[in-house]
Chain A
Amino acid sequence: MSKDDQILEEFTSKEYEHGWSVDFEADEAPFGINEEIVRFISNKKKEPDWMLQWRLKAFRLWETLEEPKWSNVHYPKINYQGIKYYSAPKKGGNIKSLDELDPEMAKTFERLGISLNEQKKLNGIAVDAVIDSVSVATTFKETLSELGVIFCSFSEAVIEHPELIKKYLGSVVPAADNYFSALNSAVFSDGSFCYIPKGVRCPMELSTYFRINAANTGQFERTLIVAEDDSYVSYLEGCTAPMRDENQLHAAVVEIYAAKNAEVKYSTVQNWYPGNKEGLGGIYNFVTKRGICAGDHAKISWTQVETGSAVTWKYPSCILKGDYSVGEFYSVAVTNNYQQADTGTKMIHLGKNTRSRIVSKGISAGKSQNSYRGHVSIAKRAVNSRNFSQCDSLLMGDQCGAHTFPYIDVENSTSQIEHEATTSKIGEDQIFYCKQRGLDEESSIALIVNGFAKEVMNNLPMEFAVEAQKLLALTLEGSVG
């Protein structure tokens, strides 16, 4: 075994930092999924009948669908009857003010580095904290509501803002979109709702922190962001889960609606439990994220740093309907050990003079597989549109794989598409060069990898960029063969 291999061994044996769980007394649904369970969830959330009917419709549809097989990921068949679809810490949820928050719960989030105490302002970021199926706390609600910004848990929004939910829920990702969106629509538990009124620049980052805690449960959250004309919001989502031997399912749906001149920046740092070194356990992350630039000059920008999950299946997309609208996708996906990631984006150009930009950086180490899957489609009426795609892969060692699947359809002659792709290997000479200047192996790799991912990292809100850099380094430390 070469020295690099030994170091690789040492570092990849580093344990997942957030792998602990807390024993909350939980209110759970029995195992399995059927109409009764859907009713149970809706009832738990005291939902109005229209919401229940919407769920039931989605459930009946889901029953007719087949799990998709086209992605480049492999996992044992999921037993959908072996999952609990609802689990709520008994003391959580439905609190009127942060003072009522269960101290154990607050401690759980403190341990994750997230303060739900408004005095200890998390750099002026409003947080919605979700454990398993429910939102346990949302900070800075009052400050935001003075501006007319709504930031609350999804459950609360269904009760408090039914007209907005009815109007936008499923408008970007219909239940029928795919297998997992149908499942989510039937059993979604909680998530966040953001509404930015006309002309308002949201003064703080809005952020949702998802934590799977209970065993054998799936997490099916739902996020909806609506940005009215001339508004702006930056939203961040973070995720962790305890270490468990069994695989847990996470099937979220995120919808973004951007009206005329609105700009929505959505950043994710995904750090679900990836499974252990042998590939045991870990989260199946099957997520549908889509935004629509409904009005002219609207802009949606997705930035994701994907470091966790055993299997990731995720394509944050933009429908560029408004003329001159802009869609961006910046992604870093890191896989190590036996992780598999199939991720990318769809840019659907419908409006005239629309622009899209895709920057994807895949980093694979260990025995992992990392695929970029992108679809750029330019409709006939989307004249003078442009797309630029850059897909770079970095390999560490020789047992991992990087794959690129770009699909392109252009139906007019005035549009332009550029696609660049590179694959490189972290070179021993790069590492030696760094070491010769006094850097240890760990810092050398962190430096090289962060350099590789820089264009994407630069798009993260400042507060999270540092965190994400560390996470990236941590996932990969010593992974050079």
Chain B
Amino acid sequence: MISIKNLHAKIEDKEILRGINLEVKAGEVHAIMGPNGSGKSTLASVLAGRDGYEITEGSVIFKGKNLLELEAEERAREGVFLAFQYPVEIPGVSTTNFLKTALNQIRVYRGEKPLDAVTFLKLMKEKMKIVEIDQALLSRSLNEGFSGGEKKRNEIFQMAMLAPTLAILDETDSGLDIDALRIVSHGVNTLRSADNAIVVVTHYQRLLEYIVPDFVHVLLNGQIVKTGDKTLALELEKKGYDWIKAAHGALEAQ
């Protein structure tokens, strides 16, 4: 589904991604872990098409297309979704109104008819159940005054509405209480299918007990330095990152 090869990205002359290689197939769940500042959110932003990064090397092929050539909105319409680590507030615009505009632009791009209000609301009702989100929240200004947990839940609700083929969840678990974590994870699992793929960025192995990954990658200093199965997350939880840093340091020194 997505094939990232030797991806290098700079921001303001600082190289943040230093040769990322990652292959994600349909139906898979990949977890990306790594210390603060290692470049996880940067990778997510670069894939989603945020302005301001200079791609100096490498390629990203998504469903056969050169992703890096597409505008952010085109990537979204092609099926790339990013659940933000820090969702942005948009005063005066309700989630409902926002999603209706978004979904219909995506549909038009795909040559489908825009949904009328009734069908849209029906779809919304259905998806609201998946993450147990309240109608009242969706009528409020998008993310304005939302608690940290509400923002994250709203991100996953949007994911449910837009049904992406590749969803990147950037620390969706941070800020969620224990019950919310369970509900949101359950929501994500409901959305899992053989046709889509999910990349979860997280610091905690707890999330991975709910959303069980096929692969766990460790991102360090802009590179994926170790890949394993779900047991790698457990190991990281116990031992931290120092042993990987040490091993990787030795490798780089060679």
Contacts and interface: CB of A to CB of B under 8 A. Distances in A.
A437 B84 contact: no
B55 to A, nearest CB: 14
Nearest to A452: B92
Interface in B85-105: 87-93, 97-99, 101-103, 105
B82 A436 contact: yes
B158 A437 contact: yes
A234 interface: no
- Candidate in A2, A437, A438, A454 with the most chain B CB atoms within 10 angstroms: A438
A4 B51 CA distance: 9
B88 A437 contact: no
Given A432-B51, A432-B72, A443-B105, A437 B92 contact: no
A403 interface: no
Interface in A25-47: none
Nearest to A392: B91
A430 B90 CA distance: 7
Given A3-B51, A433-B87, A450 B101 contact: no
Given A4-B51, A428-B51, A435 B76 contact: yes
Contacts of B73: 435-436, 438-441
Contacts of B46: none
B49 A435 contact: yes
Nearest to B107: A438
Contacts of A454: 92-93
B158 A447 contact: no
Contact of A448 (B90, B103, B106): B90
A159 B158 CA distance: 63
A453 B76 contact: no
B48 A436 contact: yes
Contacts of A66: none
A199 interface: no
Given A3-B51, A447-B90, A455-B92, A438 B98 contact: no
A447 B49 contact: no
A434 B105 CA distance: 11
Interface residues of B, number: 33
- Candidate in A3, A4, A451 with the most chain B CB atoms within 10 angstroms: A451
B203 interface: no
- Candidate in B48, B87, B92 with the most chain A CB atoms within 10 angstroms: B92
Contacts of B102: 434, 437-439
A174 interface: no
Contacts of B128: none
A475 B84 CA distance: 30
Contacts of A4: 51
Contact of B105 (A427, A428, A432, A438): A438
A381 B75 CA distance: 64
A447 B95 CA distance: 12
Nearest to B108: A438
A429 B51 contact: no
Interface in B171-211: none
A476 to B, nearest CB: 15
B77 interface: yes
B103 to A, nearest CB: 8
Contacts of B65: none
A436 B93 contact: no
Nearest to B142: A451
Contacts of A455: 92
A437 B50 CA distance: 12
A107 to B, nearest CB: 33
Contact of B90 (A433, A436, A441, A443): A433
A447 B51 contact: no
Interface in A405-444: 427-430, 432-441, 443
Contacts of A443: 101, 105
A451 B88 contact: no
B76 A436 contact: yes
B7 to A, nearest CB: 19
A448 B142 CA distance: 11
B59 interface: no
A55 B64 CA distance: 76
A447 B48 contact: no
A447 B105 contact: no
Contacts of A448: 90, 93
Contacts of B52: 428
Contacts of A450: 92-93
A435 B82 contact: no
Contacts of A3: 51
B214 interface: no
- Lowest 10 A-B CB distances belong to which pairs? A451-B92, A451-B93, A454-B92, A437-B102, A435-B72, A438-B76, A438-B106, A433-B88, A435-B73, A438-B102
10 contacts: A430-B88, A434-B98, A434-B102, A436-B49, A437-B99, A437-B158, A438-B73, A443-B105, A448-B93, A455-B92
Interface of B: 48-52, 71-73, 75-77, 81-82, 84, 87-93, 97-99, 101-103, 105-106, 109, 141, 158, 162
Given A435-B71, A438-B106, 5 more contacts: A428-B52, A437-B162, A440-B105, A451-B93, A454-B93
Interface of A: 2-4, 427-430, 432-441, 443, 447-448, 450-455
